[in-house]
Amino acid sequence: MPKTSARLLALLSLLQTRRDWPGLLLAERLEVSLRTVRRDVDRLRELGYPIVALKGPDGGYRLGAGTELPPLLFDDEQAVALSIALQVAATTPGNGTAEAAARALHTVRQVMPARLRHRIDALHVTAVARPTSSAASSSSASAPAPASASVGGDALMALSAAAHAREVLRFDYADRGTRRVEPHHVVTWDGRWYLVGWDLDRNDWRIFRADRITLRTPNGPRFTPRTLPGGDVAAFVTGTFHRNTCRGVVILDLPAATVAQYTRDGVVEELSPDQCRLTLESWSWMSLAASVARFDADLQVIDPPELRAACTRLAHRFLNVTP
């Protein structure tokens, strides 16, 4: 049988994972008797945790909401996730809870064990908001990122820790080969995570999507940090994503659900069961034309004329392809 303190923490952790727990199931999970479970519940109540007893054939327990906030229990993954969320809230422009989030992050850090506090101290992330221009606000309702765009807390911690330690990162980037990068900052933009860094092989600043990064270990040598253009990471990211942006609107003879499934960025609007309007952005008109041409369907360019001309040029190029 585990020691009482360890058993109480295990019991509290179980009560936080689901709404209702039958007493016999708790006893089975903790490998103790039902009588021991009852005693441990009483001990937790004395510590301020509002545990409600459930009536019924088997009885049971539920962790209720109290009038005061008792000590909370987080495992390592939850603590890291909470710290990331609080940093994002604390750095989000125009966020009315930024100051409170910063105070909460400080409070959480104070009660963390040393092994986690060291990791959190190396965590530096920044939320970058889209500009409030009409073009940006029109695209802010973009289709949700697919499940593959998710990034685990450990990956974000590793990227941020390398930037904090000023160590060169080596990683495979999607299908574009291995990159060597001096990491500068980890940012979140429009629901995705990105790494801002100096690409040693291309001798230029780059922004990498974190969900496309597969880290190689160990990290490379330490480096002397470079000055980011403009000196501000938010301004750099915003300027990069909205530099020479081309935005067009087309009508596709496909269901909206089908187009949305294969559209990571853009706005898809249903016009009829078999037709939809797609608003999309890209770095050039030819790139935008190629993006809409990949759908196996007839299309109509609504706006602007530059996109219509790019589609015409693309069609001529395909007609001239040598058999």
Tens digit of each residue's pLDDT (9 = 90 or more) over 105-131:
887 777 677 777 877 787 788 888 765
Within 8 A by CB and 6+ apart from 119, the residues are 80, 157, 161
pLDDT of residue 128: 81
- pLDDT of 217 higher than 50: yes
Residue ranges, CATH 1.10.10.10, the chain: 4-63
Check: CATH 3.90.76.10 for 4-63?
no
* SS3 label, residue 148: helix
pLDDT of residue 130: 64
- Predicted confidence (pLDDT) per residue in 17-68, tens digit: 778 888 889 989 888 998 899 898 888 888 777 888 888 766 788 887 654 5
pLDDT of residue 103: 81
- pLDDT of 139 higher than 60: no
pLDDT band at 189 (very low <50, low <70, confident <90, very high): confident
Average pLDDT on 244-256 reads 86
Give the integer Cα–Cα distance in Å for 323 and 321: 6
pLDDT of residue 181: 96
- pLDDT of 255 higher than 50: yes
In words, the CATH class of domain 246-319 is alpha beta
**Residues 119/80, Cβ–Cβ less than 8 Å:** yes
Instruction: Find, among 187, 215, 175, the residue nearest to 197 by Cα.
Output: 187
pLDDT band at 244 (very low <50, low <70, confident <90, very high): low
Give the integer Cα–Cα distance in Å for 247 and 135: 8
pTM of the model: 0.54
Longest CA pairwise span in the chain (Å): 83
Give the integer Cα–Cα distance in Å for 276 and 258: 10
Residue ranges, CATH 3.30.70.250, the chain: 246-319
More confident residue, 143 or 230: 230
**Bond from prior residue into 305 cis (ω within 30 degrees of 0):** no
Average pLDDT on 279-283 reads 83
∠ CA(169), CA(212), CA(135), 5° rounding? 115
Give the integer Cα–Cα distance in Å for 125 and 84: 7
pLDDT of residue 127: 82
